[in-house]
Structure formats: C-alpha cells, structure tokens
Amino acid sequence: MEQSLIILKPDAVQRGLIGAILSRLEMRGLKFCGLKMIQIDESLARRHYAAHEGKPFFPGLLQYITASPVVVVAVQGKDVIQTIRHTVGATKPIDAAPGTIRGDFGLEVGRNLIHASDSPESGQHEVSLFFQPHELLLWERSADPWIYE
C-alpha cells in the first residue's frame, strides 16, 4: 500500500482553494488518513526540499513554502503516487493539462499550489516528516468496495 504526502501550498490557502482542491482528490476516491493545517518552518522546508538544495530556485522555494500556513494531507492506498501526480498535473502550470489542479488553477511554477510525493519511497519519507504515527488514522471506509474492484 503506497503513501503520498500532499501539501496545499500557501497560495492555495490564501486564495481560498483548500476546499476546491481537496474536493477533487476526495471525489477521485482517494482516502485521506491524516490532515492538518500548519506553518512550515525553515528547518522542515529544508528537509522536505533537500533534493533541490543548490538549485537557483531553492531560496525562493523556501520563502514561498514558509510564507503562510499550508494544509498537509497524508493519503494511503493502491497506486496513490501516480494517481495523485496525474491529478495534480505538470510542475509548470503552463505545461499542465486542463482538468488537472495546476492546469486549472495555476499560471507560474513558483505558485503551483500543491505538492505531491513523486515515488513510493519519497511518499513514506515525506509522510513521516510531516505526521507523527498517532496522527495517521487507518480507518475502514464503507465506500471502498464501490471504489476498488
């Protein structure tokens, strides 16, 4: 079973898009197992984006992700990494297909609204960075037999 970390970035929160974005993910059938609003500090931002350290956009990325509260969501289920990445769309909103979150709500890469883990390994790692074990609920969902064959 894969895990993915979703972050509704500061622009999504400031623009009042929490409900609209979460609703797309929820309607797709994804099951949330952790959800909270936090403000990311510099230390957590550096750990989360460690793979991008040294790139020209890194300082701006840290500034953006720490600027204002975010909503973090842990998702667990079959194939959630690829499913969510496809629903989120390409990194640059200008390249993101219409119908994707970034393709419908965003214009620029530095304001691309949402983070989603890019591999099963990073999903496990990122969920553990943002959630304590007791914050993750492995609940039974009665609709599961109507979502998963």
112 binds, among ligand DAT, Mg ion, none (CB under 5 to 8 A by kind): ligand DAT
Closest residue to bound Mg ion by CB: 118
Q: Of these partners, Mg ion, ligand DAT, none, which one is at the site of residue 110 (CB under 5 to 8 Å by kind)?
A: ligand DAT
**115 is an active site residue:** yes
Q: Does 110 bind ligand DAT (CB under 6 A)?
A: yes
Residues 89-148 that bind Mg ion (CB under 5 A): 118
**Which listed residue (48, 52, 115, 125) is catalytic?**
115
Give the number of other Cβ atoms within 10 Å of residue 20's Cβ.
Answer: 13
When asked if residue 82 is in the footprint of ligand DAT (CB under 6 A), the reply is no
Judged on CB neighbours under 10 Å (0-12, 13-18, 19+), 102 is buried
Residues 7-66 that bind ligand DAT (CB under 6 A): 52, 57, 61
Q: Does 115 bind ligand DAT (CB under 6 A)?
A: yes
Decide if 96 contacts 37 (C-beta within 8 A): no
Catalytic machinery residues = 115
By the criterion CB under 5 A, which residues form the site for Mg ion?
118
